[in-house]
Structure 1
Amino acid sequence: MKIEAAFLPVVDRYPVKCESTPAKSGNPVIDGLLQVRQGMYERQAALLMSAAASWSYSDITTFADVMSHRGFGGGNAVSINLQNDALLVGTTALILQSADKRVVVLSFRGTEPRSLINWMANINAKVEPFHAMGHVHGGFYRSFLALWPTLSPLLGAALRGMSLCDVSHRAMAKYHCRSAGTDAPTSGDTAEPDCGDERDSREPMLSNVGPTRAGDAPAAGDEDEPALYITGHSLGGALAVLAAARLYTVGILHEWHWKKLRGIYTFGQPMVGDQEFVRRYERGFGHMLFRHIYENDVVPRMPPRTAGDFRHMGEEYHSTDRGWIYQSKLVSQARSLVGSTLTGITAFVMDQLAGIPVLGRIPFPYSWEAHSPVNYLRVSQMSRISVGG
């Protein structure tokens, strides 16, 4: 387990480790995210989430620097990385907190191209039960289960308005060896930095608030509570759906602040669960799940039918030359893993030969090149500047 924290520079300062969070200030980006009603699709939010999902593949300081230029300057970011090759588990989540602690973004890293463990987990699609609420992709679920015990307390603390910088360093301190009878770290450990927040960082017990209806405006006083967004590209999108399902389940049973979640924005997300899983959770948070698909990206059609009956849920948005547009008909599964993969690879090769007139006009149903996060980021940028629609 590896936990890292970074301070987001206010302008162009190089990210430094752990500084106290600046006081609340009028930030149009943060104010805009706070004004989004639960279950309402918003183009600016889609752009910010696509940036967070795309840059989740980088290291924590690069992520912090990029997101500071997106309006989160002065905030904090924490990266939680878990790797166990023998268990085919390798995943990373990043929590982003605005300077005034009013907006929290949970972003999951997707499949890393050079990670054999990620690819094996993706292929291992044997289903597993999800809280007696249907079945989900086993490879995705195992990665989520391994990460959640560490991720959950940090996310809960951020939703209470606590400083991620302070809480993350307390979490890191748990893994330091300490001599018997003393609270001081043993040789080689560094002292825990002062992050300006001395409140308790134990996992929160949140107050009595249940799920709200689609489009509900924040109740009186909600503007002072953190708004939560969840995002991810590829595998990260699948983990984002599992995180939302977990929060929804816990929200019903243990009265979590479900109302804090404003939306789940995924990009190139594969299918996560079976028909029963979709049926149960579609009513709960389907109106808050916004899935984006670029052209003929093969991954949203995965896992294939040969791996089982998987379904999509939520609202689906497809790419156009003017940005994202809502589609009422959801994409269906590819027929087989081998066939769709070979087709996707062939489409990628042919795309590089687009200058040859005959080859450039051959249509392919699937493409691996279309799955690149740069495509999703580019279309999101076009959506932000488009008028109407």
Structure 2
Amino acid sequence: MHITAVHTIGVGSTGAPISDASRQNILRLLRTEEGVYDRAHARTLSVLSAWTYSDEGTFAAVMSRRRLEGCDYVEISTRNDALFFDTSAVLVQSPGRKLTILSFRGTQPQNAINWLTGVSARAEYFPAGGKVHGGFQRGLRSTWPVLQELLLAALNARPICDALAHSREKYLSPCGAAKPEAPVSMVPAPITDAIPEEKELLPSLYITGHSLGGALAVLAAALLYAQADAGVFGRDRRQVRSWIRGVYTYGQPMVGDAAFASMNGDLGKKLFRHVYRRDIVPRLPPRIMGDFMHFGQQYDSSEASWMPGTRPARQAISLGLSNLVGVLSWFTQDVVPLQWVRLPFSWGDHSPLNYMRTSLEAAPGEEFD
């Protein structure tokens, strides 16, 4: 397990003040009621989910430009090729510790087909009911022990960087070193007054991800709901559930079966799935791998950013045919004489760049500003 901590995005050693744009963005995220879709949040979270693929320095620089100055963030990742998982997650915490954003990295393009259609797609039982994609569940569970500690710290307005230090000592102490007796986060550092208005607001959690990251975001939210019901967080279940203000996913594949979708009806009210044009991934895994289905609210790309979907993405039938059509469509999109060919699925439409550009309503190149 690889554990990284990076402090105060966009502030650094100079202690420069947080911009008014960042302050307003953070407060808007905190003031939004649970289950309310917000285009500004879709922009922020699409950028965050896309840049979760990058290295830590690049991520911090982009988040500073995208109105998350002054936030702390930590990154954890786990990988085991034999067990079919390679999971990376980033947790962002606002200066006043009331806002938390959890973003999961998606799968790299060269591995997407194997992840979504290979042996790892075999369904497994989800602890609270229903069946889910086995590879997705193993990927989430591999990081959950540390993520759960960090989320517990965030829920209690404790610094995630301190909680991370405790986790690092617990899991990565040198041979013979004494184990920590109590979490470092039990004695929190003073809360900064960078955004004084945060003190009066309730804690808020947003979960996001692109591709595989979107699937992990849905599973993480479902697991938080299940653990809230089981009293794992030591809080009233309604308090923990209301902490999750929204789950924003981009190009997310199907996660579970009908029973899993039905069990998570309440979660579906705050799950916002974004689908760009003919992206093939929201139609996967194919039916030959088992019966999967979406839940939540779908938003489709349009000339005016995102619009409520009228035709929910349905599961593809054939494994080989779907992949063949998706690859051919990707090819025809880049060859001018063949761009008139309109195939039903496309791997080319799955790029996080498409989702970020649509969310930002940006001209080509502006999404990097």
2:29 is the alignment partner of 1:38: no
Candidates 129, 132, 137, aligned match of 1:136: 132
Distance 1:151 1:319 in 2: 32
Pick from 234, 238, 243 the counterpart of residue 260 of structure 1: 243
Query: Contact 2:210/2:249 (CA < 8 Å) preserved in 1?
Result: yes
What's 1:176 paired with? 173
Q: 2:186 aligns with which of 190, 200, 205?
A: 200
Q: Deviations over 1:285-332 (max 9, x none)?
A: 111000000000000000111111110000000000111000143111
Whole-Å separation in 2 of the counterparts to 1:24 and 1:179: 46
Contact residue 21 and residue 75 of structure 1 kept, 8 A:
no
Partner of 2:256: 273
Picking from 55, 58, 66, the partner of 1:59 is: 55
Q: 1:315 to 1:222 in 2, by over 3 A?
A: farther
Matched letter for residue 220 of structure 2: A
1:238 aligned residue: 215
Report the AA paired with residue 381 of structure 1.
L
Code of the residue aligned with 1:324 in structure 2: it is W
1:353 and 2:335 are equivalent in the alignment: yes
Q: Show CA shifts across 1:157-209 (max 9, x none).
A: 122111122221221122121546x689xxxxxxxxxxxx964189xxxxxxx
Unpaired stretches in structure 1, ≥5 consecutive residues? 185-196, 203-220, 384-389
Equivalent position amino acid for 2:241 in 1: W
2:115·2:121 contact (CA, 8 Å) conserved in 1? Answer: no
The structure 2 residue matched to 1:160, chosen from 132, 156, 159, is 156
Quote how far apart the aligned CAs of 1:43 are.
0.3
Is residue 262–residue 288 contact of structure 1 (8 Å, CA) maintained in 2? yes
Find the residue that maps to 1:72 and give its secondary structure: coil
Pick from 74, 79, 92: which aligns with 1:78?
A: 74
Identity of aligned residues (%): 40
The counterpart of 2:316, out of the listed 334, 343, 361, is 334
Secondary structure of 1:136 counterpart: strand
How far is the alpha carbon of 1:93 from its aligned partner?
0.7
1:316-331 map, 5 Å? 316-331=298-313
Matches within 5 A, 1:204-223: 223=200
Q: How does 1:146-157 map to 2 (within 5 A)?
A: 146-157=142-153
Confirm whether residue 27 of structure 1 aligns to residue 23 of structure 2: yes
- Distance in structure 1 (CA, Å) of the matches to 2:322 and 2:308: 25
Closer, same or farther: CA 6–122 of 1 in aligned 2, 3 Å: farther
Residues 276-287 of structure 1: matches in 2 within 5 Å?
Answer: 276-282=259-265, 284-287=266-269
Q: Which amino acid aligns with 2:174?
A: C
Aligned twin of 2:325: 343
Distance 1:70 1:83, change over 3 A: same
Contact 2:163 2:184 in 1 (8 A): no
- Deviation, 1:119, is 3.1
Aligned partner letter, 1:301: R
TM-score (norm 2): 0.86
Is 2:94 aligned against 1:98? yes
Using the alignment, how far apart are the partners of 2:9 and 2:298 within structure 1? 34
Distance 1:263 1:108 in 2: 14
> Does the C-alpha gap of structure 1 residues 222 and 270 become closer, same or farther in structure 2, counting only changes over 3 Å?
farther
Aligned counterpart, 1:229: 206
Deviation at 1:125, TM superposition (A): 1.3
Note if contact 1:154-1:168 (Cα within 8 Å) is conserved in structure 2: yes
Higher mean displacement: 107-116 or 134-143: 107-116
Give the conservation status (yes or no) of the 8 Å contact 2:165–2:184. Answer: no
Distance 1:56 1:8 in 2: 17
Superimposed CA distance per residue, residues 37-73 of structure 1 (whole angstroms, 9 cap, x where no aligned partner) = 1000000011111011101101222212211222211
Residue identity in the other structure for 1:134:
G
Q: Deviations over 1:215-266 (max 9, x none)?
A: xxxxxx9943321000000000000000011011111221352211100000
Q: Which residue in the other structure is 1:311 paired with?
A: 293
Shift of the alpha carbon at 1:150? 1.4
Q: Shift in Å at residue 144 of structure 1?
A: 1.1
Counterpart contact for 2:9–2:63, Cα < 8 Å: no
Question: In the aligned structure 1, how far is the partner of 2:34 from the partner of 2:3?
Answer: 30
In 2, Cα distance between equivalents of 1:64 and 1:337: 38
SS in 1 for 2:264: helix
TM-score (norm: length of structure 1): 0.82
Inter-partner Cα distance in structure 1 for 2:355 and 2:312: 18
| Counterpart Cα distance in 2 of 1:158 and 1:21 | 24
Which residue identity does 2:81 align to in structure 1? Answer: D
Task: Confirm or deny: 8 A CA contact 2:18 2:70 kept in the other structure.
Answer: no
Determine helix, strand or coil for the equivalent of 2:306.
strand
| 2:224 maps to 1:247 | yes
CA distance in 2, matches of 1:302, 1:343: 13
- Spell out structure 1 runs of 4+ moving beyond 6 A: 19-26
For residues 320-351 of structure 1, give each alpha carbon's deviation from its aligned partner in whole angstroms, at most 9, with x where no partner exists: 01110001431111111211111111011111
CA distance in 2, matches of 1:20, 1:3: 25
Residues 345-374 of structure 1: CA deviation (Å, up to 9, x unaligned): 1011111112x2xx2211110000000000
List gaps (5 residues or longer) in structure 2.
189-197, 363-369
Is the contact made by 1:60 and 1:77 (CA closer than 8 Å) also made in structure 2? no
CA distance in 2, matches of 1:105, 1:125: 27
**Partner in structure 2 of residue 88 of structure 1:** 84
